[in-house]
Amino acid sequence: MATMHDVARLAQVSVSTVSYVLTGTRPISQATRDKVLAAMAELDYQPNAMARGLASRRSRILGLLMPMDERGLGATETAFVTGAAAAASSAGYHLVLSPVGGGDLDDLRRLASQRMLDGVVLMEVQLADERVTVLQETGVPLVLIGRTADTSTLSYVDIDFDQTVREAVAHLVGLGHRRIVYVNHSAATLASGYGPALRTRDAFVAAMTGHGLDPVMIAAEDSAAGGRAALAAAFARAPELTAVLAMNETAIFGILGELTGRGLSVPGDVSVVSMVTSPQVAELATPALTAMTSPGSALGRIAIEALVRHLDGPAVERHLDGPAVERHQQLLPCALEVRGSTAPPRSRRPVGADQ
């Protein structure tokens, strides 16, 4: 097997020159580069990836930090990962998935201090996310999928929750619905400052108020049982409800089950819209769910592309100075896909009314 010394001997250059050609750490004339590359081709030299990483102080490994629980990844979350992985591979990087959440700051500090990752993409972002502070303090380049409250110094891609909720509500109102309940994530998730839960809560209030309607939001645990309990709470607060908007994929099937258990049909008695959902999940239900489809794959791809530009761009050496790096800040809305779970409301007696 050919070595770097063999390449240097054939190209009639020093070993350090071969190293510079491989790592790009110093400028090399095009003529010398061509000689080295020709020697490598003739000898079928395969450079050692670890050696190149040590020489350039780059691992060519990116981290996707995504908190997970015992449920693992569903189809919607997986789309973020596959989009990110494909973009990393196209740029010549490997992607490592790490389940680091807000409660794992010591683990994150250890991970950052080991310098195994050239940069990270951070998911499931809270408005005040301490992971961002840790990564900034340790000098690890990062891009968010999500937003903190203050994004002035950060690169991010995120869902445009204002537009997404506005279009979901407009779809239901356009069908004639006036009593719409929003099923959000859990009260604990809201209290933790989870960005999507808080932004959709506020967007729902704004959208409903804009139509002159009363906004009713129910917090639901992320489980089928949580969905059933949330629907029961929704009927207790709004017995005449005719539509449910939900951003809780785990709870949505409990909501559908509870409607069936109450003898109510979808969409005949109650229309249902699932928000930030993949087509795979939407089509598991019967009828298939009208959904605001998540742009997860695109968000994963764009986040990695922005991170790679930070790493490989001309300002990379000044990254820690802040202003030298161009910030990438972009919002993408979910797309409305109408399936079988929404229709104009028909008159029925409010749940709980005397028969």
Residues 182, 184, 188, CA angle at the centre, nearest 5°? 145
Which stretches within 44-160 are classed as H helix? 49-56, 75-90, 105-113, 130-137
| Rounded CA Rg of the chain | 26
CA 302/CA 145 separation, integer angstroms: 9
Q: Which two tokens stand for residue 270?
A: 């109650």
Give the per-residue pLDDT at 110.
85
Give the per-residue pLDDT at 49.
52
Q: Cite the beta strand spans of the chain per DSSP E.
A: 61-65, 94-98, 119-122, 142-145, 156-159, 180-184, 216-219, 243-246, 271-277, 290-293, 329-332, 335-337
Question: Tens-digit pLDDT profile for the chain (355 aa)?
Answer: 778 888 899 999 998 888 787 766 678 888 998 999 899 888 888 766 545 554 556 778 999 998 876 666 778 888 999 999 999 999 989 999 988 776 778 888 888 887 788 999 999 999 999 999 999 988 899 999 999 999 999 999 999 999 999 999 999 999 999 999 999 999 999 999 999 999 999 999 999 999 999 999 999 999 999 999 999 999 999 999 999 999 998 899 999 999 999 999 999 999 999 999 999 999 999 999 999 999 999 999 999 999 999 988 754 444 444 445 578 999 999 999 999 999 999 875 555 554 3
Sequence-distant (≥ 6) Cβ neighbours of residue 25 within 8 angstroms? 19, 55, 56
DSSP for residue 13: S
Residue 239: CB atoms within 10 Å? 13
CA 32/CA 235 separation, integer angstroms: 76
Q: How many CA atoms lie within 13 A of 34 on its CB side?
A: 3
* Residue 333 β-bridge partners: none
Nearest to 119 by CA among 98, 100, 142: 142
Give the per-residue pLDDT at 319.
43
Structural domains of the chain, ranges and CATH numbers in brackets: 4-56 (1.10.260.40), 61-159+296-332 (3.40.50.2300), 161-294 (3.40.50.2300)
CA 62/CA 60 separation, integer angstroms: 7
Sequence-distant (≥ 6) Cβ neighbours of residue 62 within 8 angstroms? 88, 93, 94, 95, 96, 117, 118, 119, 120, 121, 304, 307, 308
Give the per-residue pLDDT at 355.
39
What is the pTM (predicted TM-score) of this model? 0.80
